[in-house]
Chain A
Amino acid sequence: MEFKVVTPHGVTYNDTIEKVTVPTLAGALTILDQHAPIVSVLAAGEMVIHRMDGSTVDVAVSGGIMEIVSSGAVYIMADTAERAEEIDISRAEAAKKRAEELLTQQKNIADVDFARIQASIEKELARISIGKKYRKL
């Protein structure tokens, strides 16, 4: 099936694939060929792409939208998307630590800030776990 991951920074992935596992707000969803049309909201997490030759590619996404159109093509509109080999684990860990410190330091921060920091922690966690998986291979 046709599969595209697009972000405002450009196209991260564009290929014909076998199946893909996508983190949505309702939990992880594995999409096979000929899936019914659906529009779903993505959560921050790992997306696992199974290529036609059986190998897999891990991509960290930080939220966005997935759309499957009637032809079965899958479009992911992600805010950010990074392939495992592009992730710098030490930087991701530093970013997560910074976010956690922010949370503990400011006890009386506004809800908006809290939600934002929470979201950035989730995003960094997804990046770290994908980055680690890739390094072990």
Chain B
Amino acid sequence: MAVSSKAIKTRIKSVKNTKKITKAMELVSAAKMRKAVDATLQARLYATLAQQLMERLSELQEPNYPLFEQRPVKKILMILISSNRGLCGSFNGNVMKFGKRLLEDKKNLAAHRGPDGQSTPPGAGDIDVEVLGIGRKSAAFAKKNDLELIEVYDSLGDSPDIDDAIHISKNVTEKFKTGTYDKVVVLFTHFASSLTQTVKVRQLLPVAKAEVDKLLTEFPNKDHIGELAPDNRPIETYFLEPSRDAIFDIVIPRLIDVQVYQALLESAASEHSARMVAMKNASEAASEMIDALTLAFNKARQAAITQEIAEIAGGAAALE
């Protein structure tokens, strides 16, 4: 017997078991992805309203708010959103590749961008980059690129909550205000569809109008907002209670929260869909393997029977 049919049988069994697991993981990831996408859409109306309000309030006068302040950039904080677990295809690899490319051109990363796209290059001197990681895999990135890792959030779970986002955004806002960092960017995976995800970088602080616009135009589904009443009345005629600055104090941190929340959700959706696709491929590969093994098993079995017949025939011929 060329190949032991028993060995092949055990092999088929183990591949079948693996396939069951990958299939289950595929379905679970699909459900989790849907949940994350839903939450993204739910947060959209809130983000739209908050952004419109901020835009109109800033018509009043050039806002002199600490979170708008564009300082010469010396130190950048990079929020890197990765996953906690593996088995999600190239999801983490893509984030890290993109991050590495950004690090090669720190000057560009440090430049401030105006509303119409012109950029102000940073001052001379070295630019320092530190990492705030989300998901366990982000630690590997910081280590590989020799960056200071200030914190890792690794208990966000599969569907991030707005409270997690608030916690993170408060943390970084505080660090920006005290001048520890002159710029905060977030690196996340934009969820275009379950098949295409691209890694993107977005500036969180200082708050820039262009960045908030991007947040709103890049939502996966635009018709979710519904109709909002148009508002053409000049903002000067509005009653502002208690004051414009007090309102800024509430609206701007909320916008940052929503931006972080959005990045978390999109990354979660991307992670789950990357895992879903990876698991789908694994299930398909397992099916192919089972087919090939079954063929080999049948051949081996047939060979064994043929050999036995040949032996019997040989034995009978010897008796005559």
With a cutoff of 8 Å between Cβ atoms, the chain A residues found around residue B10 in the complex are none
Q: Does B50 contact A (CB under 8 A)?
A: yes
Whether A70 pairs with B232 at a CB distance below 8 angstroms is yes
With a cutoff of 8 Å between Cβ atoms, the chain B residues found around residue A37 in the complex are 231, 233, 237-239
Whether B46 pairs with A7 at a CB distance below 8 angstroms is yes
With a cutoff of 8 Å between Cβ atoms, the chain B residues found around residue A77 in the complex are 46, 49-50, 53, 254
0/1 interface trace, chain A 55-81, chain B, CB 8 Å (1 if under): 000000001110101110101010100
Q: Does B240 contact A (CB under 8 A)?
A: yes
* Nearest chain A CB to B240 CB, angstrom units: 5
Whether A65 pairs with B261 at a CB distance below 8 angstroms is no
With the chains together, A71 CA to B47 CA distance in Å? 21
CB closest chain-A residue, reference B47? A8
0/1 interface trace, chain B 242-271, chain A, CB 8 Å (1 if under): 100011001100100110010000000000
With the chains together, A116 CA to B45 CA distance in Å? 26
Given the known interface contacts A37-B238, A41-B250, the answer about A2 and B49 at a Cβ–Cβ threshold of 8 Å is no
With a cutoff of 8 Å between Cβ atoms, the chain A residues found around residue B39 in the complex are 9
Q: Does B241 contact A (CB under 8 A)?
A: yes
Whether B242 pairs with A26 at a CB distance below 8 angstroms is yes
* Nearest chain A CB to B136 CB, angstrom units: 26
CB-contacts of A12-63 with B (<8 A)? 24-26, 36-41, 63
Chain B binding site: helix, strand, loop or mixed by DSSP? helix
0/1 interface trace, chain B 34-49, chain A, CB 8 Å (1 if under): 0000010011011101
Give how many B residues have a beta carbon under 8 Å from the other chain's beta carbons: 31
Whether B250 pairs with A65 at a CB distance below 8 angstroms is yes
CB closest chain-B residue, reference A72? B229
With a cutoff of 8 Å between Cβ atoms, the chain B residues found around residue A4 in the complex are 45
With a cutoff of 8 Å between Cβ atoms, the chain A residues found around residue B241 in the complex are 24-26, 38-41
With a cutoff of 8 Å between Cβ atoms, the chain B residues found around residue A6 in the complex are 45-46, 49
CB-contacts of A108-123 with B (<8 A)? none
With a cutoff of 8 Å between Cβ atoms, the chain A residues found around residue B237 in the complex are 37
With a cutoff of 8 Å between Cβ atoms, the chain A residues found around residue B157 in the complex are none
Q: Does A11 contact B (CB under 8 A)?
A: yes
With a cutoff of 8 Å between Cβ atoms, the chain A residues found around residue B30 in the complex are none
With the chains together, A11 CA to B49 CA distance in Å? 12
Q: CB < 8 Å: which of B45, B231, B238, B254 contacts A11?
A: B45
0/1 interface trace, chain A 91-112, chain B, CB 8 Å (1 if under): 0000000000000000000000
With the chains together, A64 CA to B251 CA distance in Å? 8
CB-contacts of B47-101 with A (<8 A)? 47, 49-50, 53, 57
With a cutoff of 8 Å between Cβ atoms, the chain A residues found around residue B239 in the complex are 36-40
Whether B229 pairs with A2 at a CB distance below 8 angstroms is yes
With a cutoff of 8 Å between Cβ atoms, the chain A residues found around residue B57 in the complex are 39
CB-contacts of B191-247 with A (<8 A)? 228-233, 237-242, 246-247
With a cutoff of 8 Å between Cβ atoms, the chain A residues found around residue B242 in the complex are 25-26, 41
Whether B42 pairs with A41 at a CB distance below 8 angstroms is no
* Nearest chain B CB to A13 CB, angstrom units: 12
With the chains together, A70 CA to B233 CA distance in Å? 6
CB closest chain-A residue, reference B48? A6
CB-contacts of B261-289 with A (<8 A)? 261
Binding site for A on B (CB under 8 A): 39, 42-43, 45-47, 49-50, 53, 57, 162, 228-233, 237-242, 246-247, 250-251, 254, 257-258, 261
Q: Offer 22 A-B interface pairs, CB within 8 angstroms, sorted by A.
A: A6-B45, A6-B49, A8-B257, A8-B258, A24-B241, A25-B241, A25-B242, A25-B246, A36-B239, A37-B237, A38-B238, A40-B240, A40-B241, A41-B250, A64-B250, A65-B53, A65-B254, A69-B229, A69-B233, A70-B232, A70-B233, A73-B228
Q: A37-B231, A41-B242, A41-B250 are in contact. List 16 more A-B contacts (CB 8 A).
A: A7-B46, A11-B45, A25-B242, A26-B242, A37-B233, A38-B238, A39-B57, A39-B238, A39-B241, A40-B240, A65-B50, A65-B53, A69-B231, A71-B229, A77-B46, A77-B49
